[in-house]
Structure 1
Amino acid sequence: MAWLAVPMILALPACTSPPETSTTPTSETPSPFDDCAALTAPPSASAGASSPAEATSSAGASSAGGSSSAGAKRAAALPELSLPCFTGGQEVALGALPGPAVINMWASWCGPCRNELPVVQGLAAKAGGRLHVLGVDVGDSREAAASFGRGRSVTMPTLYDPKRRLPAALGQINLPVTVFVDTAGRAYVHPLPMDARTLSELVRTHTGVAVAP
């Protein structure tokens, strides 16, 4: 009897983009997110914060060889790209964003983002102004993104990227993607979903800011 080959589909821990859709920003969609005015000012000084190099050394026992730092890639700097704030108003020039900062790219159609986005919001709530924490909604309609964020109590400042310009500029296809920016403007790209502990470790490693999980 001949055996039929049955193709197997592997579940990946990240989402690929859905087919391109036309999305036009509109002020008619209420936004659950904060405005982006604070993103143009440097974060407040952090008592006891170490440099990224010192943080990497001190966190070596917990992150060396572990999954938290696996896959992280360094970029020279954020791309010279401006994206509109989801709430409207000014655009934010990513290349001029003062570090330290954490930028999380997400979408309503991204399965892993359902768990990760509230974790990033938790970081924003605990950071106390010591670093910028912001989201970038990618490839979404405003209605879907607002509903997704509201349902997960996400209020951090969020940029709107319906044409997926930022992931493309960073050479990324899947979501979620998180970028860590240190005080010198160096960017580190992490292309995998994170839990609270992993996020805390990566923030300390790449920005020098210690925030409890």
Structure 2
Amino acid sequence: MIRGLVALVLLVALAACAPSTVDAQRAGSCLPPVPSVVPPAASGPRVPDVTLECFEGGGVVRLTDLHRPAIINLWASWCAPCRSELPAFQAYAARAGDRVTVIGVDTGDTRTAGAALLQDVRVSYPTLVDDQRRLLAAVGRSALPVTLFVDAGGGLRYLYNSTPLDEPAIDRLAQAHLGVAA
């Protein structure tokens, strides 16, 4: 109890000394900057502590360091349901703006095939690479697509692993599990 209180006091003191934004998820990340004040962690399941490379290179992202609501969609170019839902994620990301971060994770795929699909769909939200399927394994799944709804404190609020999502379904799930409307 005392140890937890000391940790909280230290965290508040460090937050007071921090700049107004964290540098784009640490130097070299492909994600936008986040607020320096991080909400408390929710109880329950957590987003896996997995670090993935940005699709276009130049940095890495540790999923436990997002510090804002996020929708993480695991996909692959060879997955027909994944291909059908990518346009819905692109449309949702464009509407959501900075209220929620949409992140794609090209999973178990080649960069060439993934890049071709991203270009065809004109995906503009951040995309990460997981050619070893580490995130898929960490959430206990083997089939794609998988979509994670993660709160700003890193809590894994919902995991969707079923039929392809359309834009209204993404919006409903984000509202229900993250309290975010696009």
Any gaps of 5 or more consecutive residues in structure 1?
Answer: 1-34, 44-73
Distance change in 2, residues 1:189/1:167 (3 Å): same
Deviations 1:93-136 (A, max 9, x none): 01111121100000000001121011011111001211111100
The percent identity for this pair of structures is: 47
Q: Identify the residue that residue 36 of structure 1 maps to in structure 2.
A: 30
Q: Identify the residue that residue 68 of structure 2 maps to in structure 1.
A: 99
Q: Identify the residue that residue 32 of structure 1 maps to in structure 2.
A: none
Give how far 1:183 is off: 2.6
Query: Which has the larger helix fraction?
Result: 2
Q: TM (normalized to structure 1)?
A: 0.65
2:112 corresponds to which of 143, 153, 165: 143
Higher relative contact order (CA 8 A, sep 6+): 1
Distance change in 2, residues 1:42/1:101 (3 Å): farther
Choose 1 or 2 for highest CA Rg: 1
> Using the alignment, how far apart are the partners of 2:154 and 2:161 within structure 1?
19
Distance change in 2, residues 1:75/1:141 (3 Å): farther
Q: Any idea what SS the aligned residue of 2:80 has?
A: coil
Q: Identify the residue that residue 166 of structure 2 maps to in structure 1.
A: 195
Q: Identify the residue that residue 46 of structure 1 maps to in structure 2.
A: none
Structure 1: 4+ residue segments shifted above 3 A: none
Query: Which has the larger strand fraction?
Result: 2
Q: Is the contact between residue 182 and residue 208 of structure 1 (CA under 8 Å) also seen in structure 2?
A: no
> Using the alignment, how far apart are the partners of 1:82 and 1:111 within structure 2?
26
Distance change in 2, residues 1:133/1:177 (3 Å): same
> Using the alignment, how far apart are the partners of 2:89 and 2:35 within structure 1?
19
Q: Identify the residue that residue 128 of structure 2 maps to in structure 1.
A: 159
Distance change in 2, residues 1:185/1:37 (3 Å): closer
> Using the alignment, how far apart are the partners of 1:41 and 1:94 within structure 2?
13
Amino acid at match of 1:122: A
* Mapping of residues 17-28 of structure 1, within 5 Å: none
Q: Is the contact between residue 55 and residue 129 of structure 2 (CA under 8 Å) also seen in structure 1?
A: yes
Q: TM (normalized to structure 2)?
A: 0.76
